[in-house]
Structure 1
């Protein structure tokens, strides 16, 4: 069963282009990297690092330490009914913690084909609009309103 605590990682380049990935199980569902904790005591930054590698092939440990930023913001949202089977019976809400990751402009992406089928680098305003989830778009806008 999935743990209803997750991370969202907005990956971006120096020109403020943001990486979006399209889910394999839902055509047209573009998002940033997301994923649940593996254990209740998993460190949030380690979960973000793991999810980034699993979904994009980017090794955060090879980047400068300050590349991964905890945005110290979280939201609570309702889990889509069609995905609740992954959680314990009765679990309907998830807490998502926001992170940002600045990567070199030359960064290559290797998608996990079972999870995602395509990726795009978009200017942050376009990326925020293209996200299926409004809160994902909000995370992108929050990151760049602070910079």
Structure 2
């Protein structure tokens, strides 16, 4: 069953290597005059009862082709940072939400990968990807909460990278 409106609960997944290179993906922008919209993996819950972790793993798979779902090669790299941001929804996207909904709750995850894996983008959502050092990735991000999450890598000594062998 498709809900008529987006659920105002989303995930942000910062994907990074042991060398603290961060994956950014460029959103499809319908306005050709708009600046490039670079971000980490993001996405809303499909239904209210969907767990944060399931949403995070599903969005990573859908947007990058990297599999951190249960049984996937990067399963153990996905870590819930237990951080939530609440922010106003940008006016140009309010139509996607039920009338009166003005704020979104975003749960932050990290996905540590042992190397820079090949990324397979969803062409309806993203046009390009790149791996950048943390500071450069944060500077390129459109979203302030995304930039802050990336910069947290510098202050979170020994973020778990999981035990993925892939």
TM-score by structure 1 length? Answer: 0.95
Q: 1:135: how far off?
A: 1.0
- Using the alignment, how far apart are the partners of 2:135 and 2:116 within structure 1? 21
The 5-angstrom pairing of residues 1-147 of structure 1 reads 1-25=5-29, 27-61=35-69, 62-63=72-73, 65-147=75-157
Flag the structure with higher helix content: 1
Distance 1:48 1:64 in 2: 12
Structure 2 stretches of 5 or more lacking a match?
158-166
135-144 or 41-50, larger mean C-alpha shift: 135-144
Equivalent residues, number:
147
In the TM superposition, what whole-angstrom CA distance separates every residue of 1:116-137 from its partner, at most 9, and x where no partner exists? Answer: 0011100011101110111100
Q: Distance in 2 between matches of 1:70 and 1:63?
A: 17
Contact 1:63/1:103, CA 8 A, preserved across alignment: no
User: Which stretch of structure 1 is more off in the superposition, 82-91 or 55-64?
Assistant: 55-64
Counterpart of 2:164 in structure 1 is none
- Per the TM alignment, residue 106 of structure 1 is displaced from its structure 2 partner at its CA by 4.3
Determine which structure has more spread, i.e. the larger CA radius of gyration. Answer: 2
- Runs of 4 or more consecutive aligned structure 1 residues displaced over 4 Å after TM superposition: none
